Structures are given as structure tokens and as C-alpha cells.
């Protein structure tokens, strides 16, 4: 009898462990959000992917519709090739554009898809041709300083006779 | 001069000999483990003794760690306006590090010492010798089921520790402070990966369970069969198992979390 009680208690213990695992996996981690759903694959080429990472979200109108599956460099064109898993059932027109955006000023980068107006849809394995690269803050600051310097130079030149 | 040199040599040889001895003991334990699986009721009894009886301390500590972590992180994060990330920070800290490590330290203190003392007293009472006399290998009958029980119980305890900690953080952050519950969970779900974070945490805790149980059994089995010997072995269990867990934690973190 006491052995049976021990077994029941151990069964409860293991069950508690499994429940904890289930809680952590489903409620406190990302299992069940996307990885198991059916998806199809799109790719896009960017001149500069900035800080985009694998598993970053793909959003359209702010709604997450997929995840970045892989990032590689095209050896011929030296462009970054980003492959994305998009949820099945969501189709985008052929002339949709993909932009690398940043959530908030310091947030993570994600891909935003702007749907176009074409009649035909992007099929599995298709490549999005209209892309806009990530905004690199350093380049932006560089351009800003350069244009300021140019302004100052031309202004100074105009004042002095 | 030569005395000092001889002392150093003797120290090194003793250390090496103890290491080799422990390695052979470990191989023996692994060798006897399949036999212990056939006597599964013994393993079940040990999971009960090691796991079930540690539940209270693990649960209470997890809750306390979750409470404090949530409160401290809130004070730190609220200055950056990022209080919603509280759940994420607490979750990652618990699942990756604190769950396995703190649960293992408690495990060494709660279950490891009792294993060492139990086996040490069995040895002092010559029960182990009596078993050998009856042609029963005490390593197969006494040690191997405890070894397996420890390895099974430890990951479960670590999972419970993390879960209770996260629930504790939820109580403090959402119910007491008033962080938005939806953001608390959704940021967590967006950033915590099942395999990378949770899976590696489980691997860690299984390794820690192995270390703690092995050290406890070795200390108990090899202790001097006197009251002082048993008390010394119990102390050694806590010290060596804790240091082993902390060292291994660094190694495992470097190995498991190095790939992006």
C-alpha cells in the first residue's frame, strides 16, 4: 500500500513537471505561435539588411504574418538575400514591396510588406523585387553632416566677395 | 627544500588518484544504471525521496526569486520606460540561468546531503559490507537507483522553479504594480525561444542533477566510516557539488548559447 502511495506521489511530481514544461513552452515562449503553422516561402534582395536577424517578424500593416527564415549573401550581386516564411492563406500581389523597418527608435528590425495593386499574386518561392534597404543611422548622420558642411561652405562663399 | 618538493608531489599524486578513483566510480554507476532500470520501483522510490520531498523548498525559493526579480527589474526598467519587458527579463533570467543553477544549489543542499549521510551511515553501520557478503553489489542495489532518481528529479525541479518564479513575477508585476498583462506575456512569447532557451535550460539542469547526485553518492560511498567522516563527507558534498555546478554552468553557457 505504501509503495502504491509512493508511486502516486511520484506520478504527481512528474505530472507537475510536465505541466510546468507545457506552461513554459506555450505560455512563456514562442512555441505554438508560428513554427508549426503551414507556411510558404518568399525571398527578397536588399542592398543592406542592417541589423535584421533570423526569426525576426515579417509584418504587413503592423500585423505579424511570418518570420525571417534565413539570410544569405548573393556572391554575384553582393546583395543580402532574405528568405521569409509567410503564413499560408495570406497572399500578396506581385508588385508588393518589402522594407526593412525598425520598431521604435532603438527596437529590433523587422520586414514590412506593403501590398501593391497587381492582379497576380506572389507564389511559393517567388522573389519580391521592390525592396527598400535598412536605414543605417551612421550613413544618415554622415549625409547630414556632409550636407551641412556643403551648406556652410556655399553660404560662406556667397557672403565673402 | 626536498620536503616541500615531496609534499607538492604527494599532493598532486593524491589529487590525481582521487580523480581517477572518481572516474572509475562514475563508470561503475553508468554500468549499473541499466540494471537499476529493471528494478524500476527502486528508482521510483528514490525520485520520491529526492524529488517530491524537495518540492517545498524549490517552490518557496522560486516564488521568492520571482518576486524579488520582478521588483528589482521593475525599478531598473521603469526609468527607461520599458516596464513591459519585465516578463521577458524575468523569464530569460529564470529559464536560462537562475532556474537550473539555483535549483541545483538547493538540490545539493537538500537532496545531496541526505544522500551522502544516508550512504555514509549505511557504510558506517556495515550494511553495505553485509550486502556484499550476500553477493549483492551495493552499487547496483543502493547507488544506481539514487543516481537515476537524481538525474530524473533535477530537471523537473528546475522547470517547476522557473514556472513558479514566472508566476511570482506575474503576481508582483501585473497584480501589484500594474504592468499590462497582455504585454507581459506577449513580449515574453515573442522573444523566448523554446529550443534555444527552454531546451538548453533543461539540458543544463539535467547535467547539474548528474553532477550533484554523483558527488553526493561518491562522497557517501568513499567516506570514512566514522561520525566525523560522515559529517565531513556531507560538508564536502555541498561544497564540491556547488562549485561543480557553478563551473559547469559557465562551460555549458559558453557551449550552448554561443551559436546565434
Lowest-pLDDT range, A1-15, A24-38, B227-241? Answer: A24-38
**Consecutive H or E run containing B177:** none
pLDDT of residue A156 exceeding 70: no
pLDDT in tens, B109-129: 999 999 999 999 999 999 999
Residue to substitute from B159, B186, B201, interface A, most A β-carbons within 10 A = B159
Q: What is the pLDDT of residue A120?
A: 86
Mutate to test the interface with A, among B156, B182, B197 (most CBs of A within 10 A): B156
Report whether B245 contacts B208 (CB < 8 A): yes
Contact B156 A17 (CB under 8 A): yes
Domains of chain B, residue spans: 2-256
Cα–Cα distance measured from residue B37 to residue B247, given in angstroms and rounded to the nearest whole number: 30
Do B192 and A20 count as a contact with CB atoms less than 8 A apart?
Answer: no
Residue B121 Cα to chain centre, angstroms: 23
Minimal-distance CA residue of chain B relative to A26: B189
Report chain B's terminal Cα–Cα distance, integer Å: 53
The whole-number pLDDT of residue A1 equals 56
CB A91, CB A58: distance < 8 Å = no
Pick from A4-8, A10-14, B85-89, B208-212 the range whose average pLDDT is largest: B208-212
User: How confident is the model over A21-25, as a mean pLDDT?
Assistant: 88
Surface of A (6-35) touching B: CB under 8 A? 6-7, 9-10, 12-14, 16-17, 20-21, 23-25, 27-31, 33, 35
Q: Is B163 in Cβ contact with A20 (below 8 Å)? A: yes
Task: Report CB contact under 8 Å: B190, A7.
Answer: no
Q: What is the mean pLDDT of chain B?
A: 91
What whole-number distance in Å separates Cα of residue B251 and Cα of residue B35? 31
pTM (2 decimals)?
0.76
Q: What is the average pLDDT across B213-225?
A: 93
Tell me whether residue B218 is exposed, middle or buried, using C-beta atoms within 10 angstroms of its C-beta: 0 to 12, 13 to 18, 19 or more.
buried
Residue A13 to residue B41, Cβ atoms within 8 A: no
Q: Is B53 on the interface with A (CB under 8 A)?
A: no
For residue A52, list its beta bridge partners.
none
- Report the first-to-last Cα separation within chain A, whole angstroms: 108
pLDDT bin (cut points 50, 70, 90) of residue B57 is very high
Q: What is the pLDDT of residues A124-135, one digit of tens each?
A: 888 888 888 887
Q: Between residues B187 and A31, which one has the greater pLDDT?
A: B187
- Give the ipTM: 0.82
pLDDT score of B190:
77
Which one is predicted more confidently, A50 or B246? B246
Contacts of B153 in chain A (CB under 8 A): 13
Amino acid at each position: 500500500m505504501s509503495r502504491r502511495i509512493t508511486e502516486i506521489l511520484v506520478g504527481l511530481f512528474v505530472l507537475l513537471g510536465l505541466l510546468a514544461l507545457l506552461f513554459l513552452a506555450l505560455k512563456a515562449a514562442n512555441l505554438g505561435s508560428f513554427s508549426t503553422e503551414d507556411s510558404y516561402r518568399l525571398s527578397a534582395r536588399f542592398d543592406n539588411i542592417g541589423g535584421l536577424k533570423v526569426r525576426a517578424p515579417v509584418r504587413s500593416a503592423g500585423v505579424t504574418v511570418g518570420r525571417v527564415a534565413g539570410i544569405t549573401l548573393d556572391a554575384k550581386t553582393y546583395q543580402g538575400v532574405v528568405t521569409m516564411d509567410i503564413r499560408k492563406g495570406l497572399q500578396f500581389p506581385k508588385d508588393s514591396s518589402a522594407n526593412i523597418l525598425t520598431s521604435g527608435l532603438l527596437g529590433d528590425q523587422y520586414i514590412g510588406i506593403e501590398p501593391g495593386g497587381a492582379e497576380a499574386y506572389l507564389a511559393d518561392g517567388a522573389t519580391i523585387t521592390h525592396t527598400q534597404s535598412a536605414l543605417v543611422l551612421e550613413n544618415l548622420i554622415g549625409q547630414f553632416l556632409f550636407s551641412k558642411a556643403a551648406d556652410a561652405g556655399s553660404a560662406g562663399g556667397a557672403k565673402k566677395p | 627544500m626536498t620536503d616541500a618538493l615531496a609534499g607538492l608531489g604527494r599532493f598532486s599524486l593524491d589529487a590525481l588518484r582521487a580523480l581517477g578513483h572518481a572516474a572509475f566510480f562514475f563508470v561503475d554507476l553508468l554500468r549499473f544504471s541499466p540494471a537499476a532500470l529493471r528494478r524500476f520501483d527502486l528508482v521510483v522510490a528514490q525520485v520520491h525521496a529526492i524529488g517530491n520531498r524537495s518540492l517545498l523548498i524549490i517552490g518557496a525559493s522560486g516564488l521568492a526569486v520571482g518576486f524579488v526579480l520582478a521588483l528589482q527589474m521593475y525599478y531598473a526598467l521603469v526609468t527607461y520606460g520599458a516596464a513591459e519587458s519585465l516578463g521577458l527579463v524575468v523569464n530569460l533570467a529564470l529559464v536560462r540561468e537562475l532556474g537550473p543553477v539555483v535549483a541545483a544549489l538547493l538540490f545539493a543542499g537538500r537532496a545531496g546531503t541526505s544522500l551522502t549521510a544516508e550512504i555514509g551511515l549505511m557504510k558506517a553501520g556495515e550494511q553495505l559490507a553485509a550486502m556484499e557478503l550476500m553477493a549483492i553489489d551495493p552499487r547496483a542495489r543502493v547507488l544506481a537507483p539514487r543516481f537515476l532518481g537524481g538525474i530524473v528529479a533535477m530537471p523537473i525541479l528546475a522547470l517547476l522553479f522557473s514556472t513558479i518564479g514566472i508566476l511570482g513575477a506575474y503576481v508582483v508585476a501585473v497584480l501589484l504594480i500594474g504592468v499590462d498583462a497582455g504585454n507581459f506575456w506577449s513580449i515574453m512569447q515573442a522573444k523566448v525561444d523554446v529550443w534555444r532557451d527552454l531546451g538548453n535550460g533543461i539540458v543544463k539542469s539535467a547535467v547539474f542533477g548528474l553532477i550533484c547526485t554523483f558527488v553526493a553518492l561518491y562522497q557517501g560511498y568513499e567516506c570514512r566510516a566514522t561520525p566525523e567522516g560522515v559529517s565531513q563527507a556531507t560538508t564536502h558534498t555541498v561544497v564540491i557539488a556547488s562549485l561543480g555546478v557553478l563551473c559547469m554552468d559557465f562551460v555549458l553557457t559558453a557551449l550552448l548559447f554561443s551559436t546565434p
